[in-house]
Chain A
Amino acid sequence: MLRSPCAPFEGGPSHVTVAASGVTLSNIQVVSDSQITASVDVAKDAPAATAALTVTNPPKAAHPGSATADPAPVVLAVPKIQWLGKTISGDNAKTQKVKVGQPVELTTTPTILPEGYTVVNSHWDIDGYTIKSYQGSDAGITLEETDVDDVLNTTFYWLYPDTGLNVDYQYCAQDSGGTQYCTSPQAQATFSNVSRPDITLTVTDPYNQGRVNKLPVCGQHQKMAWMFYGDLHYASGCTPPFVGPVGIDLTPSGGDSGIYTFAQVIESDTPSWDGDNPFQCGPYLNVLDGHYPFLGVSPPPPANPTMAYDGPGQSLPNSYSSGTRDFHAIMHLLWQPPQLAGTGTPSIPVPIGHQAWQFVATTNQKPPIGRGKWNQPDTAAKGEAGGFIPANDSDNNEHGYPIWNGVSGIASCDPSNQTQEIDE
């Protein structure tokens, strides 16, 4: 409690006092016979409170003997940002580190103001590219933008590595009459390093060309001709798994203890027979290849895949003289960091980059047409198309995550009117 000399009434000066922890008065001035003004200074560690500001007049002075400021000044405490149970803002706070894709779950104080006041207009300023949440399915990758307004707490994930990223928080108070007080200082936390391993993707082409093979048909002593990227056969009987060098291998490296996720988007795919598309297969443009995540990986789920592979195929009905596959795909690589210690919230996959690749080949049936004897294909284009391109937040409207329109497997072909002889 502080006392200050004020208006010189008979019997001594009036006293101005303030009753609240961590606050002091300054700049006290007598404005008139009925008005005194003063500034209430708030220490950084002052709790949120209303400050009882009272003027006490000397006993022989005119009435009133005392007067209390109404409304009482509200003390807006300096906010604090907390993460994993520790305060990370303020003069003595240490800088923080986190990996991309790991949850940054920040809470703040104060959360409760003196009676009659509520916290309003909380606002966060967060450097770097962040999202609040990620969900991925065959239907697409759904992201939510980070909550920065009107929330006491916020959770987000940084998507790309960076250094010296600041997180600022401030709030206002509103009294029961709707008056807002926005005098709370800003709290700031600094993340000195948002890290990510140096990850890249290597492409190999084990067979180096297309191949026509005949596969047994289940329940029938017959075979059908197919053109593949790679030299693929069934391992046993009439059903997968396949054996033989596959068309393309895509092998990531550098991800250390994290988990790789693949998503393949078919940029364009136009199968044709005799230059036509009688089976209404495609053309596919920017569709997901099969599933998200991409299933052509090894080892299979639930293990952490160490590579992805693919070998597009095309049937070769006997009634056609030629078959062509014009396949262009983009394999997206994502990486999910290890679980962050101290939280049950899982980390999420973040975009790393993408690699375009292709398979363009044509095969012709040896005359006479109908015998199902096919030449080995002429492979016009294959393997990687350009280099591995690192993801960038500005790649698209999805922070560099892959986007697609539909799914190739489900949207594939409508051969309701087709006929085909089976090759003996």
Chain B
Amino acid sequence: MTRTAIHRFLLFGLIMAAPPVLCAQDQGNLTQYAEHLKEAAANDTYPTFSLTLSSKAPEYHIGSIMWAKIAVTNLTNHDIDCTEEWGGIDFTFEYEAADEDGKPVARRFQKEHSAGFDVHPAGIGAGGSTAREFQLERAFKFDRPGKYKIRVSRREPFLMDENGDNKVVYSNWITITVTG
């Protein structure tokens, strides 16, 4: 065990004996940081964050890059998780789109079909927000002209529903026009 590791262990012991305040230098250990987040979330009510979806342009051509942005805002008075899972698109979000008839648009990148995958652990401080840009055409197969409604969602890290699943926070709907 290296000196650093010993130091970490001792600090961890002190933290367990003291009030649950996580020292900044200990947060590199994800377990401790997740425990810190979980403890902080013990009295949270749904939702702990909000999602605001916007499109860079109202209209795109089929085959073009379609930029959109998700703003995540921490609604609590403590840190919350905002990790990214990249594999062509950030899989910590779920993506929904429907055409003018309400028919769901087929997904293109899906987490369970993703191979390239990178975890970017990240958080948002109390009251803070962050914005994530992504490409709509990576989420959906836009192969026909028309108007499409789109929204995104993200799971609550620690708030569970009656079935034991992570609760879901939804964004606003946006509408884009896809031209041929």
Residues of A within 8 A of B (CB): 138, 202, 204, 206, 217-220, 222, 224, 226, 228, 230, 232, 235-246, 249, 251, 271, 273, 278-279, 281-282, 289-291, 295-303, 306-307, 309-315, 317, 408-410, 412-416, 418-420, 422
The residue that A242 contacts in the complex, of B34, B88, B130, with Cβ under 8 A, is B34
Given contacts A218-B155, A311-B119, A317-B115, 10 further A-B contacts (CB under 8 A): A242-B30, A243-B35, A246-B28, A296-B122, A298-B123, A303-B125, A314-B115, A409-B86, A409-B120, A412-B118
B157 touches A302 (CB 8 A): no
Question: With contacts A226-B117, A236-B157, A295-B122 known, is A244 near B30, CB below 8 A?
Answer: yes
A298 touches B28 (CB 8 A): yes
Q: Which residues of B contact A413 (CB under 8 A)?
A: 87-88, 109, 114-116
A235 touches B29 (CB 8 A): no
A-B pairs with beta carbons under 8 Å apart, 25 shown: A206-B8, A206-B28, A218-B155, A235-B157, A236-B166, A237-B160, A237-B166, A238-B155, A239-B154, A239-B156, A240-B92, A245-B29, A245-B30, A273-B115, A279-B114, A295-B82, A295-B122, A296-B121, A300-B124, A301-B130, A306-B25, A409-B86, A412-B88, A415-B115, A420-B113
B2 touches A295 (CB 8 A): no
Q: Does B149 have its Cβ within 8 Å of any Cβ on chain A?
A: no
B118 touches A313 (CB 8 A): yes
Question: With contacts A243-B30, A244-B31 known, is A312 near B166, CB below 8 A?
Answer: no
B43-58 near A? 1/0 per residue, CB < 8 Å? 0000000000000000
Q: In the complex, what's the smallest C-beta–C-beta distance from A206 to chain B, in angstroms? A: 6
Q: In the complex, what's the smallest C-beta–C-beta distance from A320 to chain B, in angstroms? A: 9
Interface centre among A222, A226, A239 (most CB of B within 10 A): A239
B20-46 near A? 1/0 per residue, CB < 8 Å? 000011011111011101100000000
- Nearest chain B residue, comparing its CB with the CB of A294: B120
A-B pairs, top 4 by smallest CB distance, nearest first, are A300-B123, A281-B116, A298-B27, A240-B83
Q: Which residues of B contact A291 (CB under 8 A)?
A: 120
Q: Which residues of B contact A237 (CB under 8 A)?
A: 155, 157, 160, 164-166
Residues of B within 8 A of A (CB): 2, 4-5, 8, 24-25, 27-31, 33-35, 37-38, 79, 81-88, 90, 92, 94, 108-109, 111-125, 128, 130, 133-135, 154-158, 160, 164-166
B113 touches A242 (CB 8 A): no
Q: In the complex, what's the smallest C-beta–C-beta distance from B47 to chain A, in angstroms? A: 14
A279 touches B115 (CB 8 A): yes
Q: Which residues of A contact B4 (CB under 8 A)?
A: 202, 204
B118 touches A409 (CB 8 A): yes
Q: Which residues of B contact A418 (CB under 8 A)?
A: 113, 115
A195 to B132: give the CA distance in the assembly, Å.
Answer: 36
Q: Which residues of A contact B27 (CB under 8 A)?
A: 298-299, 306-307
Q: Which residues of A contact B87 (CB under 8 A)?
A: 281, 315, 412-413, 415
B116 touches A415 (CB 8 A): yes
A408 to B89: give the CA distance in the assembly, Å.
Answer: 10
B157 touches A240 (CB 8 A): yes
A240 touches B116 (CB 8 A): no
B113 touches A241 (CB 8 A): no
Q: Which residues of B contact A236 (CB under 8 A)?
A: 38, 157-158, 160, 166
Q: Which residues of B contact A230 (CB under 8 A)?
A: 30
B2 touches A302 (CB 8 A): no
Q: Which residues of A contact B154 (CB under 8 A)?
A: 239
B94 touches A218 (CB 8 A): yes
Q: Which residues of A contact B90 (CB under 8 A)?
A: 409
B165 touches A218 (CB 8 A): yes
- Nearest chain B residue, comparing its CB with the CB of A248: B28
- Nearest chain B residue, comparing its CB with the CB of A299: B24
Q: Which residues of B contact A242 (CB under 8 A)?
A: 30, 34, 83, 119, 121
Q: Which residues of B contact A414 (CB under 8 A)?
A: 88
Q: In the complex, what's the smallest C-beta–C-beta distance from B81 to chain A, in angstroms? A: 4
A251 to B130: give the CA distance in the assembly, Å.
Answer: 23
- Nearest chain B residue, comparing its CB with the CB of A242: B30
Q: In the complex, what's the smallest C-beta–C-beta distance from B164 to chain A, in angstroms? A: 8
A295 touches B38 (CB 8 A): no
Q: Which residues of A contact B29 (CB under 8 A)?
A: 206, 245-246
Question: With contacts A232-B30, A241-B37, A242-B30 known, is A295 near B120, CB below 8 A?
Answer: yes
Q: Which residues of B contact A295 (CB under 8 A)?
A: 82, 84, 120-122, 130
The residue that A241 contacts in the complex, of B81, B125, B164, with Cβ under 8 A, is B81
